[in-house]
Structure formats: C-alpha cells, structure tokens
Amino acid sequence: MSNPLISARGLTKKFGDFTAVNGIDFDVFKGESFGFLGPNGAGKSTAMRIIGATSQRTSGTISILGKDPEVHGPQIRAHLGVVPQQDSLDMHLSVAENLYIYGRYFGLPRAFVKGKVDELLAFAQLEEKRDAKVETLSGGMKRRLTIARALVSEPEILMLDEPTTGLDPQARHILWDRLFRLKEQGVTLLITTHFMDEAEQLCDRLIVMDKGSIMAEGNPASLIKDYSTKEVLEVRFGSDRNQGMADQLRTMCDRIEELPDRVLMYTEDGEALLEKIYAANMHPKTSLVRRSSLEDVFLRLTGRTLIE
Amino acid sequence: MSLTTIRQGSLVLVNTARVQSRGALYVAQARTRQMMKWIWMILGIAIANPVLYLISVGIGLGGLIDESVGPVGVDGVKYLTFLAPALLAQAAIQGTMDETVYPTLEGFKWHKTFYSMNATPLTGTQISFGIFLTSLFRAFYTVVLYFGVMWAFGVLESPRAWLAIPTAIFAGASFGALMQALAGKLEDENIFFVVLGRFVMMPLFMFSGTFFPLTSMPFFLQWIGWISPLWHATELGRHLTYGHVVSPTMMWVHFIFLGIMLVLGLFFSARIFTKRLAK
C-alpha cells in the first residue's frame, strides 16, 4: 500500500485533567473515505481539529501530507478543505462573496476564484441564491455552501465534522449525493458522524470512538460481521414487561441488549427467532426484523447507544 | 451539476508563500468588502458627528465661553478652535475601536468566522493584523472627513494643521490595537460593553482635557489624562492645528506613549488571537 496521507500514533489531547483524545493510532490513505464514528463527546471533533492543523496535540505523533502540523500548520492547511460542525459563514456577505473571499484566503488568483465560484455554485445547487445574503438560506443550503467553500482550493483532503447533523432527511440525501461525487473524483474524505447510517453510506473504513479511545477499526461490513450477528430482532413487550421477559429471551438467541423501550435480539435469522418466540407463547406488542448496523456494533462495544 | 473543469488539486493551485506574505491583506480585503455593505451609514456618522458636535458644543457652548473669557480665549484661541482637535482624535479612537472590537467578537463568538479563516493557510497573527488594518481604513476616512468639517468651520489656524490627520489616525491605531487584544480575550461581552462604555470611554472623553485644559482639573484627577491616548493625541492635535505650546520633551512623551500602546496592542492581539484559535 502507498504511504498514508495522514498517520497518527499515540495521538493524545488533554484539556486540563480531561483527556479528549486518548492515544489513538490510525492511517488514512489517498482517495479513501475515512470515518470517525462515535457519540457526542467521543473526541472526534478534537481529533479533527488536530488533523486540521489548528489545535495542538498534547502528545503522540501525527503526520499530514508528510508534515508535522505543529511545525507546518499553514503549509498543511493549504491542502485541506474543512467543513466545521458550525457553518461559520460570513453573514454579512452574499453566497458568492463567501466563496470568493475564502478562495482569496488561499492566495488564489482573482480570475481563478471567480471561475471557481460559478462552478461551486452549480455543484452546491445554489446558482439561484448567488446574490442572496447567507442568513436567508435554509440549514441545508448553508451546509452545502460550507462544503462548496471548503472545495474552493481543490483540497487534497476534505474534512467534514458532522456534515448532516440538524438537517432534514431530504437535505441529507442531497448532501450525501454531493459527497459521493467528490469521492468518485478521488478526493480523500474524512468524516465524523454519530449517525450510523451516514457512516455506512459514506465511509470505506472507519474507527469507532468512545471517550477518546478507539474501540474498533475496519470497514462497515467487516465491523458488523466481527461485532454483531447478521440480523436483529427488536421486540417490545411494553416498558413494564421488557425486563421481565429478558431472562427468557436470552436463552433463545446469541445475545440480547435491553434498552429502556425495547429488547434487541441478535441472531442469524430474525424471522425464525420471532416464530420461536410466538411458539413459546410470548406475545410482543410490536416486533421488527432488520439487518445489523453500526449502531449494534457500538452498542456491543460500549454497552451504550450512539444517540443518548 | 457536476464539476466542469479538470481538477488540478491544491498542490498545484495554492501558493503558501504568497499567503504567508500577504495573508493580512487578504483578511483586510474581505473585511473591507463587509464594511462596504454599510458604508453609507459609516460615512453619515463620520460627517454628522463633527457637524453636530462643533455646532452644539463648539458654537453654542463656545459662544458663552468666549464671551466670558474675553479676548484671551481658551489656551489663547476661540473655544471652537480649542475643542475641535480633541474631537478629531476622539473620532479616530471611536472609529478604530468599533472596527476592532465588533469584528473580533463576531469572529470568535457571534459567527465564529475566525475559525473558518484559520482553517485556511491564514494564521492568528495574520487575522489580527488584517482586522487591525481595516480599522485604520475606517479611521482614515473618518478623520479626513472630520478634518474637512473643521476646515469648513474655520478652526485650522496653522499651515501644518494637516499633520493632525496622521496624528489622529496614529492615536486611533494605538487605542484600537489595545482594544482588539482585549476583545480577543472576552468570553462574556455584555459586561464588557457596560464597563467599556461607562467606566472607560466616558471618563476618557470627559477627563482627557477634551473640553477644558487638563491642568484645570484637580491634580489627583489629572492621571486619567496621562494614561489616556486621547489626551496625548489632543495635545499633539492642538499643537499642530493652532500652535498650542508643547515642549520638545512632551512631544516625545506623547509619541512614545502612543507608540508603546500600539506595539503592545499589536503584540498581544496577535498572541491572544493565535492562542484562542488553537484552543
């Protein structure tokens, strides 16, 4: 395999007594879409800020494009496109102006940036909003503009911190589509998310983080295979009865997880398991058979759900 | 719908050395573009402010004062002539303060734009210098317009009165740089504005020898003037516009005081910006 674009060993960041990132190791290769999956406060954004060469690590090593961010911050940032969790757009300027000034921050020539702005407006489906003030845009439009802004310098690595948090399903799908296009063009993507469907859709490979540490690493399918069963049966007996049924249910499958509102049963064949439950004269109020997801991987690794 | 041009990649496109040498100018360009959105309001204030002040205080109150002090005048000149250089310096100080404090709070807190700027090759130092440079632009046209109004009111007696323009901008720069450093430290701006308005700006304006010579204050209150950039700038402005007597030593003191304030302000501002962005 070629040399990694990003390589971290024992990467640690502390804020006083609090350890936000706790000695993590990872490599990201050119053209891959790499994800950090974990709940809020897992240390994903902190890790992203260190990779983004804006926050300094406490210990460990990290190399981005062959350089140390502590020494070559501006030289590294010149080749990154950053989509922060908060859009941080310039509210006083129009949509096109936001793209233009950002291009100038990279020292790009005026004529080049002007052409690039038209191209990015088309990419972000914001041509009609070209002269609109940013504050009049919807959440999804602002997000697309922030992504377009990050692309103005044609970065080697595009970093997206929680790209679709707070967006409605339709806006999320438009955004995912845009990110797929970039991936097809060979842009290396770095994504943090606490949505398992987003991680499954967008990431070739990911690390599951919790409390600053890496719990597991791999591609979505292999993680599911390694840490969960093929299918999951979700049964609800009513909040007062779920717990009482748990002991009996546990004997019927590989593993169960008791959540406040439902019991998750891990099995290779959900339908067969459901039949077994009915045959045992247990009658859940509702039931659902689904594929295992990264949410189940996280639950298995940490005993907690991603969104609490 | 798709990216039409061929992707060259940032490794080809971005010239980091160029950003290193011109980064602050790029920030200033962007900030000026913002300022242009409300330029008419800024220009309106820049003209209305001196006209209203010079008419009400200078002519209205000045008429009464001139009548009571007689031909000796205040510091040997008409009250309006005495007052105008102080107001000129005050306008520069207010202008740079507005253009350093508000953008700094906006950049760090309200819109967090400094963080997205810092995600480019720009550094904290360049962002702080860029904001500061733009504040000088505002100070420049505020002072030039003010100076024009002073000329129209006939209060410029010395042929080298125009030198009061760079002097006032210099004072504005010194105060603005320091306020920018302070604003960079702020977490809670509400208390700051109350304190700034009532306990800093107002006393500075009232006790810097603006409306009367500093020496007519009781000695224990004169220190407010000594530490006030407004007093130092006013002394220089009076010297330049109508020949108020300032000893060569004091001339140096005024310039050095403002110079030190400027250097410290810029130094701490760059440092504070860099640290806060790296948090």
Q: Pick from B7, B34, B112: which is nearest to A185 by CB?
A: B7
What does the block give as tokens for A87? 């859009």
**Site of tokens 């936001």:** A98
Q: What is the reported pLDDT for B3?
A: 47
Q: What is the reported pLDDT for B5?
A: 58
Q: Which of A161, A186, A219 is the last residue of a domain?
A: A219
Cα-flanking dihedrals φ and ψ of residue A218, to 5°?
Answer: 160, -175
Could you tell me which residues of chain B have a Cβ less than 8 Å from any Cβ in chain A? 1-5, 7-11, 13-16, 18-20, 22-23, 26-27, 29-30, 33-34, 37, 111-113, 115-123, 277-279
The Cβ-side half-sphere exposure at B169, using a 13 Å CA radius, reads: 20
Is residue A135 domain-shared with residue A272, that is, in the same domain?
no
Q: What is the reported pLDDT for A307?
A: 64
Is residue A71 domain-shared with residue A202, that is, in the same domain?
yes
Is residue A238 domain-shared with residue A210, that is, in the same domain?
no
User: Cα distance from A231 to chain B (closest Cα, Å)?
Assistant: 38
Is residue A233 domain-shared with residue A265, that is, in the same domain?
yes
- pLDDT confidence tier of residue A105, bands split at 50, 70 and 90: very high
Cβ burial A244-278 (10 Å sphere, 16+ → b, else e) = ebeeebeeebeebbeeeebbbbbbeebeebbebbe
Residue A73 has pLDDT above 60, yes or no: yes
What does the block give as tokens for B137? 């632009």
Task: Print pLDDT tens along chain B (279 aa).
Answer: 444 456 788 888 999 999 999 999 999 999 999 999 999 999 999 889 888 988 888 888 888 998 888 888 889 899 999 999 999 999 999 999 999 999 999 999 999 999 999 999 999 999 999 999 999 999 999 999 999 999 999 999 899 999 999 999 999 999 999 999 999 998 888 888 888 878 888 888 888 888 888 888 888 888 888 999 999 999 999 999 998 999 999 999 999 999 999 999 999 999 999 999 998
Residue A1 has pLDDT above 70, yes or no: no
What domain count does chain A have? 2
Which of B13, B21, B273 has the most A C-beta neighbours within 10 Å, making it the best mutation to test the interface with A?
B13
Is residue A168 domain-shared with residue A239, that is, in the same domain?
no
Inter-chain CB pairs, A–B, below 8 Å? 124
Is residue A43 domain-shared with residue A100, that is, in the same domain?
yes
* B222: enclosing H helix or E strand: helix B222-226
Residue A203 has pLDDT above 80, yes or no: yes
> What's the predicted TM-score (pTM) here?
0.91
What is the distance, to the nearest Å, from the Cα of residue B264 to the centroid of all Cα atoms in its chain? Answer: 15
User: Cα distance from A124 to chain B (closest Cα, Å)?
Assistant: 8
Q: Cβ of B2 and A153 within 8 Å? A: no
- pLDDT confidence tier of residue A308, bands split at 50, 70 and 90: low
Is residue A21 domain-shared with residue A143, that is, in the same domain?
yes
A191: which strand partners? A35, A160
Domain of residue A256 covers 229-291
Nearest residue on chain B to A101, alpha-carbon basis? B30
On whether residue A297 sits in a domain, the answer given is: no
On whether residue A88 sits in a domain, the answer given is: yes
Q: Which of A201, A219, A237 is the last residue of a domain?
A: A219
CB-based contacts of A75, cutoff 8 Å, min separation 6: A67, B16, B121
What does the block give as tokens for A287? 């039931």
Nearest residue on chain A to B121, alpha-carbon basis? A74
Average pLDDT, chain A: 92
Contact A196, A221 (CB under 8 A): no
On whether residue A136 sits in a domain, the answer given is: yes
Establish if A171 touches chain B: CB-CB under 8 angstroms. no
Establish if A88 touches chain B: CB-CB under 8 angstroms. yes
In 3D space, the residue among B213, B24, B37 whose CA is nearest the CA of residue B127 turns out to be B24
Q: What are the residue ranges spanned by the domains of chain B?
A: 23-278
CATH number, domain of A197, equals 3.40.50.300
CB-based contacts of B131, cutoff 8 Å, min separation 6: B27, B28, B31, B99, B100, B103, B104, B107, B180
Which of A46, A82, A90, A181 has the most B C-beta neighbours within 10 Å, making it the best mutation to test the interface with B?
A90
Q: Pick from B7, B121, B278: which is nearest to A154 by CB?
A: B7
Question: What DSSP string describes B58-107?
Answer: IIIIHHHHHHHHGGGTBTTB-HHHHHHHHHHHHHHHHHHHHHHHHHHHII
Which of A21-25, A244-248, A282-286 has the largest mean confidence? Answer: A21-25
Is residue A211 domain-shared with residue A260, that is, in the same domain?
no
Summarize pLDDT for A138-149 with one digit per residue, the tens: 999 999 999 999
On whether residue A298 sits in a domain, the answer given is: no
Q: Cβ of B116 and A112 within 8 Å? A: no
Is residue A156 domain-shared with residue A283, that is, in the same domain?
no
* Chain A residue numbers touching B30 (CB-CB < 8 A): 90, 101, 104-105
On whether residue A303 sits in a domain, the answer given is: no
Is residue A153 domain-shared with residue A265, that is, in the same domain?
no
What does the block give as tokens for B184? 């960079």
The Cα angle at residue B15 between residues A103 and A116, in degrees rounded to 5: 30
Nearest residue on chain B to A181, alpha-carbon basis? B2
Sign of the C-alpha dihedral computed for residues B60, B66, B68 and B74 taken in this order: positive
Question: What DSSP string describes B6-40?
Answer: PP--HHHH--HHHHHHHHHHHHHHHHHHHHGGGHH
On whether residue A302 sits in a domain, the answer given is: no
Percent of chain A predicted with pLDDT > 90: 70
User: Cα distance from B21 to chain A (closest Cα, Å)?
Assistant: 10
Q: Which of A199, A219, A239 is the last residue of a domain?
A: A219
Q: Calculate helix-pair angle for A139-150, A169-184, nearest 10 degrees.
A: 20
Is residue A165 domain-shared with residue A106, that is, in the same domain?
yes
Is residue A148 domain-shared with residue A254, that is, in the same domain?
no
CA distance A84 to A1: 30
CA distance B56 to B66: 14
Residue A118 has pLDDT above 90, yes or no: yes
